[in-house]
Structure 1
């Protein structure tokens, strides 16, 4: 039976080869000719400061993905808060199609919203200020015009600042906010949403028969979602949550 796969928050880095190994193992085990598409919903890389910063590590990742694309498997990429500077040059090298921040797809006859999810963490005011700047029209252009060494320094400082800031924030602030979720459902007129970012894999149900599926990270749980015409199965660690006949929600 045809199926579609979704992943997010791998945070791939040459400093954590075990995650890369887990990703390649996932590709070997889960992807075959019955897979229609692979969707990568952001934070695929730990950091991305521009396509001109690609190296042997990222080129190896691209080669593995391009091999799948050449076999007829569609690969889609939505930017996360760590890799929003990933551009068309690397996407083409990897055989990926870049998606808008929020994209509605037809998933086996049901309209489903895909996004990274960080825009719904509206209680984290400090991060939202940075997000508005970093996703605006001028800041990415300015950054990409800077020398590579400078961009790497900025990214390093930003990661350190973010890590320190999160240590002092309540768990609720770092999660999505309910009203933002409901507003997003209403904006796109869908009943199913899939996203990552929070690293808290779960299936959430809302009053109006709306379902929000959260992908987990890959630090330990190698989370992924498998969807076919009858089931949605969210894998994380040794667990799996299954929605049977999920299309009834549309």
Structure 2
């Protein structure tokens, strides 16, 4: 059966071997049979530059390269943790980098796909931070720093982000409904798929005679989360971790 797979918010890191094992199993046993794989951001817990050739990163890149060499197209949208993934990573893995808001034809259904952080307008502190780190000149300066220094900066920023998020209400960290509607209307579609909020769910509503659907992908903290879409529709599924 034809099908396309969507994943997001894996936050891969050397400290969570269970997530890595589940991902590698998914790539070799499931993704290889798909029409395409879409990764909607936050594949990694942090990405400090395409020149970080750690054994862990090489392992992940090899999994992507193996998949694309077998003829499965892989598309990637940057998340807030891995927005520095660049052309070298794409070249080494065979993936295709997409714009942060991209419309695709999903078996005849036009669908807007994105990471999802641009939908969370109530989190003003994060949006201000996002605008800052997405400035090209600042990214260029950061990527010119020695790898060891970049690692220390990234670790400090992650710790600060974790502390800040603990102080925020769950409402602030969820999407702003009006922004969801605005982006759908701008794209001229009624279907959306995104991650970022870690709140897997299929939202459906009607507005001015149109039926809308917004599918939120889950994170990979407790188990894997995979959206399987085919000509008949989409199914949000989980994948168990294997504990050794």
TM-score, with structure 2 as normaliser: 0.94
Structure scoring higher RCO (CA < 8 A, sep ≥ 6) equals 2
Deviations 1:2-30, CA, capped at 9 Å, x for gaps: 11000000000011111000111222332
Cα pair 2:39 2:77 within 8 Å, conserved: yes
What residue in structure 2 maps to residue 211 of structure 1?
Answer: 213
- Aligned-partner Cα distance in 2 for 1:54–1:182: 41
Cα pair 2:28 2:67 within 8 Å, conserved: no
Cα pair 1:220 1:237 within 8 Å, conserved: no
- Say if 2:28 is the partner of 1:28: yes
What residue in structure 1 maps to residue 234 of structure 2?
Answer: 232
SS of corresponding position for 1:219: coil
The Cα shift of 1:141 comes to 1.5
What residue in structure 1 maps to residue 12 of structure 2?
Answer: 12
The Cα shift of 1:61 comes to 0.9
What residue in structure 2 maps to residue 242 of structure 1?
Answer: none
Matched length: 237
Cα pair 1:201 1:236 within 8 Å, conserved: no
RMSD (Å), alpha carbons: 1.3
What residue in structure 1 maps to residue 100 of structure 2?
Answer: 101
The Cα shift of 1:237 comes to 5.9
- Aligned-partner Cα distance in 1 for 2:43–2:201: 19
Deviates more, 1:229-238 or 1:121-130: 229-238
**Structure 1 runs of 4+ with >4 Å offset:** none
Deviates more, 1:131-140 or 1:100-109: 131-140
TM-score, with structure 1 as normaliser: 0.91
Deviations 1:21-71, CA, capped at 9 Å, x for gaps: 0111222332344x1100000000010000111211111111111111111
- Say if 2:3 is the partner of 1:3: yes
Q: What are structure 1's unaligned runs of at least 5 residues?
A: 239-250
SS of corresponding position for 1:112: strand
Cα pair 1:101 1:116 within 8 Å, conserved: yes
Q: What are structure 2's unaligned runs of at least 5 residues?
A: none
- Aligned-partner Cα distance in 1 for 2:56–2:217: 24
